[in-house]
Amino acid sequence: MTDDMKRLIPLAVAALLAASCGLKTATYSDDQVMPLAEGQTDSLTLSVSVEYPVKGAPDEALDRMTTGILSSVFDLEEEPGTVEETALRYEENLKDEYFNELEGSVPGEGRSWEDRINGYFSGKHKSLYSYMIEYYGFRGGAHGISTMTPVVFDGKTGAVVPEEDFFAEGYRTPVAALIRKHLPEALDNNEEMLSEIFEPDLVGPNGNYELTRDGATWYYQPYDIAPYYVGVISVTVPWSELAPYVRK
C-alpha cells in the first residue's frame, strides 16, 4: 500500500455510520515515527485520525461541518483546504518545528516528541451532532498533556452550535448546580479526587459540551478544575434534569 493510500482511506471502504447518528463518514489516517537522526532513538511520533462526513446531510452542510471539524482539530485561524491538504500541512509544520528546534542538540531526555490526534463523531441529539477531539502532546518534561474537546454541529446547516445557543437564557446558574450535583459520580465518588477540586465555582458550563442520547456532558481539561493527575473530567447531566433549560 502506498503512503497516499495509507493517508486517505478510499470513501468506498471508509464510509460507515457515524456514532449511530445517520451520517456516512470517511476517515483520514496517518501514523509516522521519524527519528531525529540516523541511528538514534529520539524521534517524532505522529498519529492523526480524523473522521469527517460525506453523506447524510445537504452538501452545503457537509462542507461547512467538515470545515468546522478541520478548524477545530488543527486549531486553525485560516480557512482550511481539503481534509488531506489540511492534515498534511499540519504534519509538515510539526516536522519542521521538531527538526528545527532539536536537530543537533545533545541526545537526552526531551528530544522525543509525540503528537496524537483522534477526531470522531461521538453522539447525536435530535438534529445536532457531537464531534470529539482527543489530543495527546508531549514536548519533553515530566509528562505530556491529554485533552478531550467536543464540538456540536447543526446537522441541517453544518454550523457550530455554541453552548449559549443550545441552552435558554439564564441557564448558567441552575445548570452549574446540576453539574456539581453529578460531579461525585463522574469521579466514582472518589473522596481524594473530589477534595482536589480547586474551587466549586469553577465547576459549571464552560462551552466544552457534548450532546448524546443520555444527556449533555461537560469536559474539563487537566488543570481546569483539578490537578493534572486527575486527568480529563467529564460530567453528564441527564435530559430529564436539563429539560427546563434547553431552548425550545
Q: How do residues 11-55 score in pLDDT, each as one tens digit?
A: 333 334 454 458 999 999 999 999 998 877 899 999 999 999 999
Architecture of domain 164-245: Alpha-Beta Complex (3.90)
Q: Within its chain, how far is the Cα of 68 from the centroid?
A: 12
Q: Where are the domains of the chain?
A: 3-161, 164-245
d(CA 208, CA 205): 8
* pLDDT grade for 141, boundaries at 50, 70 and 90: confident
Axis crossing angle, helix 59-73 with helix 83-102, rounded to the nearest 10: 10
Q: Was domain 3-161 assigned CATH 3.30.565.40?
A: yes
> Which of these, 135, 174, 139, lies nearest to 151 by C-alpha position?
135
| Arithmetic mean of pLDDT, 199-214 | 96
- Cβ-count burial 219-239 (b if 16+ within 10 Å, e if not): bbbbebbbeeebebbebebee
The secondary structure element, H or E, covering residue 27 is strand 24-35
In the numeric block, which cell numbers belong to residue 142? 515530566
| Arithmetic mean of pLDDT, 96-101 | 94
d(CA 66, CA 85): 13
